Amino acid sequence: MVTLEDVAKQAGVSLATASRVLNGSTRQVGAALRARVEQAADELGYRANIAAQTLARGAGNVIGIVVHDLTDPYFAALADGAMRAAATEGLLVMVGTTHRDPEQEIAYVATLNAQRVRAVLLVGSRVADPAVTGRLRDELARYRSGGGRAACVGQDLLGVDTVAPANREGAAELARALAGLGHTRFAVLAGPPHLVTAADRCAGFAGALEDLGLPAPHVIHGPFDRDGGYAAAQQVGEDTTCVFAVNDVMAVGALAACRERGIRVPEDVSVAGFDDIVTLRDHVPALTTVRLPLKNMGARALELALGEEEAVVVEQVAGEVVLRESVRRLV
């Protein structure tokens, strides 16, 4: 195994200098020396010891990500995108999960602040509760006033850099596509009303139907997960020709409910979701959905958090309607 000493010797520099370059110390090393050390490391095939880097740099090397539910592949994909981007920067990532408890989200920001991590990403829908949102904003402001960096994926309500999925517009686009296939009688498995992401998708879908002069959809509220979709699907009326579940995992629950009741998809009813979760792409029938570039969104949020930009940046990310076999054209 090639050691740091070997690299220092080959580069003709001190061990301390080689360590500063390769273990990512924050102490400056001149560009020429740095290049020599990197070339030597390259030639010898030296593998930096990440543990040593961490000890040298402390938690300045660590990014915190807070998500709602790790077993939901939506959050896993977003977190993984941020983690892969972090890895290319030599940063370690810690993920906290709130299980959808806003108090836990605030607690994680406080904990990550106490640990002096370099940046915090908050990933997931805001709740429609100004008091809770205000307290989270305050906690973030405290962290940032101490030099911390922050960004979020979700609604632009926290006063930090934000990657905002265009939920209303994506759902409206989907509604127009489904109406274009001849559907007129819709149900929406709408998730919980207080969850802004769910509410925006439902509102965007219903608004587009209204603009088209179509009847209002049958809106069925419930949990924002697979079992929520399964339960809500039981309440869909017989005259409905197309069901829109406001996320893919709910749509998978709806597909299971249809299967159990002998309702064929798409022959008897069409089903669509939202997100285009990669791990659900093997489902039969393949799910019509609105694709969000989740991994890129996670990576972009990390980039915004680490960037030097002073002004707060808010980027809308458009969804793309993907028609697959779970919906059919009505003559």
Binding residues for its own copies, rule: CB under 8 A, are 47, 49-55, 58-59, 61-62, 64, 69-71, 73, 76-77, 79-80, 83-84, 87, 92-97, 99, 103-104, 106-111, 114-115, 139, 226, 249, 252-253, 255-256, 259, 278-279, 282-284
Give SS3 for 55.
Answer: helix
CA distances (Å), 38 to each of 16, 161, 171, 232, in order?
14, 34, 49, 58
Provide CB contacts within 8 A for 216, sequence distance 6+. 206, 209, 210
Q: Whole-number minimum distance, CB 129 to its own copies, in Å?
A: 12
Q: Whole-number minimum distance, CB 108 to its own copies, in Å?
A: 6
Nearer residue to its own copies within complex by CB, 76 or 174: 76
Nearer residue to its own copies within complex by CB, 32 or 51: 51
Q: Whole-number minimum distance, CB 259 to its own copies, in Å?
A: 7
CA distances (Å), 127 to each of 16, 192, 271, in order?
50, 10, 26
Q: Whole-number minimum distance, CB 331 to its own copies, in Å?
A: 27
Nearer residue to its own copies within complex by CB, 91 or 198: 91
How many Å apart are CA 281 and CA 278, to the nearest integer?
A: 5
Q: Whole-number minimum distance, CB 76 to its own copies, in Å?
A: 5
Instruction: Spell out a b/e string for 191-222, using b for 16 or more CB atoms within 10 Å of the CB, else e.
Output: bbeebbbbbbbbbbbbebbeeeebeebbbbbb
Which position has the token pair 């992401």? Answer: 197
- Cβ pair 192, 224 in contact under 8 A: yes
Q: Whole-number minimum distance, CB 88 to its own copies, in Å?
A: 11
How many Å apart are CA 269 and CA 241, to the nearest integer?
A: 5
Nearer residue to its own copies within complex by CB, 65 or 172: 65
Nearer residue to its own copies within complex by CB, 39 or 71: 71
Nearer residue to its own copies within complex by CB, 27 or 142: 142
Neighbours of 316 (CB within 10 A): 12
- Number of residues that make up the chain: 331
According to DSSP, residue 327 is labeled S
